[in-house]
Structure 1
Amino acid sequence: MRRLCSAALAVGLSLAACKTGPNLSTDYGQTARENYELAIGEFTDKDYEEAIQYADFVRIRFPFSRYAVEAELLIARAEFAQGNYTTSQDQFKQFYKLHPTHKHVLNGWCAYMAAVSAYMNAPEGFFLMPPHYQRDQDQLQDALVELAYFFDHYPNSPMHPLAIKLQDEVRRRLLEHELYVAKFYLDRDRPEAAIGRLETAHKSYSGIGLDAEVLFLLALTYLKMDEIELSRTTFAELQAQHPKHHHGRQARLYLKYIQDTYGPADASRKRPDRSPPRPVAPPRPKQVDEEALKAKGKPKAALEGRTGSL
């Protein structure tokens, strides 16, 4: 008997260890409130899978309860806490679209969390992987889109200072990527490919701490492309805006070099042709002589008979 009891206890423990979610008959509460409170308890204990199970039960079983709305938001928070950032981004966006009068939608928190989810989904540095600025930046572009929505719809949100900091960080990382690509082309002596990246960096990502480096690379690339006046203007801007930066001091030397080599500024100086190459049309097919083609296709005997008759 003891052996049977021990075996039954072992089986019960093994089944409990294999449990993956609440049991419908015993673990769920009778009301939406009870199940939502169970979900909150699991979330507080950082058992996010269990929290999602309870919250999803509330959402499906009690769809017209006010707790169903709160359960949807709790699911998005649990997905974020687990690191499922793509899922949490979609769920935060869906929530603020479906429940525009909810307090966490009205204060901009859900829109802000959608942007944070996109940012957290971007690649991070890892010792076995390339640096983040060498990898795909689509998630950071998504974060900028989400932030643009936030700033457009919630200008008075209490999350506004945090959103500004997040936007600066996203723009800084995108700028690092643009500089990496530009340097990649410059190292391979392809300034024409680098100039577009640098011009975009100067226009779109100014004011986040890397302006001196952007201006220096831009002016240097202009000089390599024989854009003398653009190079002169950019070096002068660098020297004026960042006189104490080491690139600002280098700009002074380059301005002297340009003055000594090319003379004073000349607005009418001839510029290099930077237009993209025109595509070359493929060769046209040769004209086919239809009579010769027909004659070629006739049997040999028919041709011999025709010759004999002549």
Structure 2
Amino acid sequence: MNIRLFSQLSIASLLLLLSGCATDEAYDKAGAEKQYDAAKQKINLGQYNAAAFDLEKFSATFPYSSYATKGELLRIFSAYRGGEYTLTETLSESFIERHPKHKHIDYAKYMLAMSYYMQRSTKEHDQTHNKKAIESFERLIREHPTSKYAKDVQPRIQKLYNSIGEHELLVGKYYFDQDRYVAAANRFQKVVKEYQTTSAIEESLYYLAASYAEMGLSKDARQMALLLRHNYPDSRWSSKAKDFL
């Protein structure tokens, strides 16, 4: 075979190969779009867990498709709507780590915060998820202040703070009833310093004054009672605190 013929065959082979790649690429795009739309249809029908399962397979099958990140975001939404909050947390964290500059990164951060929020606990239980939710919501506000997802989070943040404040108050009262006044005072002080905008503040001020009084710290007890009466004059706890004045 002469050099000219070899070159012609090489060019023809290359063109055939490129043609095949283009065909495969078009096929993959069509397949990705079809599966993505099928998952969206399941979501429209309320089949969230089934859609999340399909989108897991979708991500494995079309990792480099133009629909890949759309599929990831849709899977986060599906997991959340299906009540799979731990999975939502995992998927959101993964998306944030791998796509920090994505145009919808604010949504992923919002969904991470919401996954913690939906796993929040009452005042009687561990407050880990409540604290993580606050941290995530505040990160969203700080990093994306103009995001539409940052606009409705303040009431949720306050609700979480209330729960944490009430938890500290509850633990403090337990120590108080056990005559462990130093431990009790530490809990009430935490509410006064860190959760003063919560529903636990009035009662915490009263019990802090009472703890000081039990420890013989009458000056400190009076100071707390005065602070309570000044800030919450109509509170029933202000009335009870008159014994420390």
Per the normalisation by structure 2, the TM-score is 0.82
> Is 1:89 matched up with 2:89?
yes
Q: Check conservation: 1:220, 1:231, Cα contact below 8 A.
A: yes
In 1: Cα distance, 2:147 partner to 2:104 partner:
10
In 2: Cα distance, 1:229 partner to 1:113 partner:
48
Partner residue, 1:193? 183
> Is 1:217 matched up with 2:207?
yes
Partner residue, 1:248? 238
Partner residue, 2:45? 45
Partner residue, 2:9? none
In 1: Cα distance, 2:170 partner to 2:198 partner:
16
Instruction: State the SS of the aligned residue for 2:49.
Output: helix
Partner residue, 1:77? 77
The percent identity for this pair of structures is 27
Q: Which one of the candidate residues 106, 110, 113 is aligned to 1:112?
A: 110
Larger helix percent = 2
| AA in 2 matched with 1:100 | P
Q: Check conservation: 1:58, 1:67, Cα contact below 8 A.
A: no
Alignment RMSD: 1.8
| AA in 2 matched with 1:103 | K
Query: Offset at 1:213?
Result: 1.2
| AA in 1 matched with 2:76 | A
Distance 1:239 1:116, change over 3 A: same
| AA in 2 matched with 1:31 | G
In 2: Cα distance, 1:68 partner to 1:164 partner:
32
In 1: Cα distance, 2:138 partner to 2:63 partner:
32
Unaligned runs of 5+ in 2: 1-28
In 2: Cα distance, 1:48 partner to 1:159 partner:
21
| AA in 1 matched with 2:225 | F
| AA in 1 matched with 2:49 | E
Instruction: State the SS of the aligned residue for 1:66.
Output: coil
Q: Check conservation: 2:191, 2:200, Cα contact below 8 A.
A: no
In 2: Cα distance, 1:46 partner to 1:149 partner:
31
Query: Offset at 1:221?
Result: 0.9
Query: Offset at 1:231?
Result: 0.9
In 1: Cα distance, 2:120 partner to 2:202 partner:
26
In 1: Cα distance, 2:108 partner to 2:142 partner:
14
- Residues 130-168 of structure 1: CA deviation (Å, up to 9, x unaligned): xx3222222112212222322331222222232211111
In 2: Cα distance, 1:45 partner to 1:54 partner:
14
Query: Offset at 1:187?
Result: 1.2
Per the normalisation by structure 1, the TM-score is 0.66
> Is 1:145 matched up with 2:143?
no
> Is 1:206 matched up with 2:196?
yes
| AA in 1 matched with 2:45 | D
Partner residue, 2:36? 36
| AA in 2 matched with 1:218 | L
Distance 1:44 1:179, change over 3 A: same
In 2: Cα distance, 1:36 partner to 1:198 partner:
53
Instruction: State the SS of the aligned residue for 1:206.
Output: coil
Q: Check conservation: 1:36, 1:58, Cα contact below 8 A.
A: yes
Partner residue, 1:176? 166
Query: Offset at 1:203?
Result: 0.7
Distance 1:232 1:116, change over 3 A: same
State the 4+ residue runs in structure 1 displaced beyond 6 angstroms: none
In 1: Cα distance, 2:148 partner to 2:73 partner:
19
- Residues 169-194 of structure 1: CA deviation (Å, up to 9, x unaligned): 11111111111111111111111121
> Is 1:228 matched up with 2:218?
yes
Instruction: State the SS of the aligned residue for 2:197.
Output: coil
Partner residue, 1:14? none
In 1: Cα distance, 2:182 partner to 2:57 partner:
58
Distance 1:220 1:161, change over 3 A: farther
Query: Offset at 1:30?
Result: 5.3
Unaligned runs of 5+ in 1: 1-28, 124-131, 256-310
In 2: Cα distance, 1:175 partner to 1:121 partner:
18
| AA in 1 matched with 2:123 | Y
Distance 1:78 1:120, change over 3 A: same
Query: Offset at 1:208?
Result: 2.4
In 2: Cα distance, 1:175 partner to 1:208 partner:
6
